[in-house]
Copies of this chain bind each other. A is one copy, B any other.
Amino acid sequence: MNTLAEENYLKSIYHLALSSANVSTNQLAALLKTKASSVTDMLKKLADKELINYTPYQGVNLTAAGEKIAVNIIRKHRLWEYFLVEKLNFKWDQVHDMAEEMEHISSNELIDRLDKFMGFPKHDPHGDPIPDCNGLVKTHHLEPLSSIVPGQHGTICGVRNHSTMFLQYLEKQSLTIGKKIKVAETIEFDHSMILQMEGKEIQISREVANNLLIAQ
C-alpha cells in the first residue's frame, strides 16, 4: 500500500500538526533527520497520492485519508509498546525503537487481535492514548506540571519528552505514570518545584516540570 518512508512522513506530519496548523518543510526535515530537499520530494509524492494538502512554500497538512493512515500507524506503535512492556517485561525507556519497526507490520487483523489479547488498553506505557480500531483517539487534556500552583494535587498521566535519558531519570525518581503528587512549593529563583509524593519530598527542575503532564 504505502512505503515505509511514506508512512514515516505521514506519522511525522501528524505529530507536528498537533502543535502547529501548517507543518513546514524544515520541521519535517528536523524530525525525520533528513534534508529539506528530500522532504520537498516526498511531499510532492504524498500530494500526488492525495494524502496531504501541499502548497509550495506554504507547508502541509494531512487529508482525511492521510490522517487515517497516520493514526493507524500510531495505534500500532502504541499497542506494540504496550505489548513489549506488559507481556515481555521491557522498561518504558526501552521500547520506542522496537515499536518504530513494528508499527510498519501491515496486517490490521493482527493488530486488532493483539489489542483484544491485551484487553483493549487505553494508554501506552508513556501515557499516550491508543487510537481504537476505528481510528478514534481519546485525547485527554493534560497540564504540564510546571503550570500547577502550590497546594494543588494531580496525577502523572504523560510525558512530553520520550528520550531514554528522561524516562530513566523519571523511573529513578519514581515519577512514573499513575503516581499522585502534590505541589508543595515553587522556587521563584529557578522555577524548580518541591513535590510531595507517597509521603516523600522530591525536588525537580523547571525543565522536568515542563515535560511531565498532569491530570487534576
Tell me the nearest residue of chain B to A106, going by C-beta: B101
Min CB gap A5→B, angstroms: 13
Which residues on the B side are within 8 Å of A101 (C-beta)? 104-107
Task: Determine if A89 is an interface residue (Cβ-Cβ < 8 Å).
Answer: yes
Cα-based distance from A34 to B6 in the complex (angstroms): 24
* Docked pose: A140 CA to B106 CA in angstroms: 34
Q: How many residues of A contact B (CB 8 A)?
A: 16
C-alpha gap A90/B117 in the complex (Å): 12
Candidates B84, B88, B89, B114; contact of A88 at CB < 8 Å: B114
For A114, the chain B residues whose CB sits under 8 A away are 88
Give the shortest distance, in Å, between A216 (CB) and chain B (any CB): 37
Q: Is the CB of A113 within 8 A of B88?
A: yes
Count the copies.
2
Interface residues of A in 70-108 (CB under 8 A from B): 84, 87-90, 98, 101-102, 104-107
A107 to B102, CA, bound (A): 11
Question: By the criterion CB–CB under 8 Å, are B84 and A117 in contact?
Answer: no
Asked if A110 lies at the interface with its beta carbon under 8 angstroms from chain B, I say yes
Contacts of A102 in B (CB 8 A): 105
In this complex, the member of A84, A88, A104, A106 whose beta carbon has the largest number of chain B beta carbons within 10 angstroms is A88
Please name the residue on chain B nearest to A104 by beta carbon: B101
Give the nearest-CB partner of A88 in chain B.
Answer: B113
Please measure, in the bound complex, the distance between the C-alpha atom of A101 and the C-alpha atom of B101, giving whole angstroms: 10
Tell me how far the C-beta of A197 lies from the nearest C-beta in chain B, rounded to whole angstroms.
31
Task: Please indicate the chain B residues that have their CB under 8 angstroms from the CB of A107 in the complex.
Answer: 98, 101
With the chains together, A113 CA to B98 CA distance in Å? Answer: 13
Residues of B within 8 A of A113 (CB): 88-90
Interface residues of A (CB under 8 A from B): 84, 87-90, 98, 101-102, 104-107, 110, 113-114, 117
16 pairs across A/B with beta carbons < 8 Å?
A84-B110, A87-B117, A88-B110, A88-B113, A88-B114, A88-B117, A89-B113, A90-B113, A98-B105, A98-B107, A98-B110, A101-B104, A101-B105, A101-B106, A101-B107, A102-B105
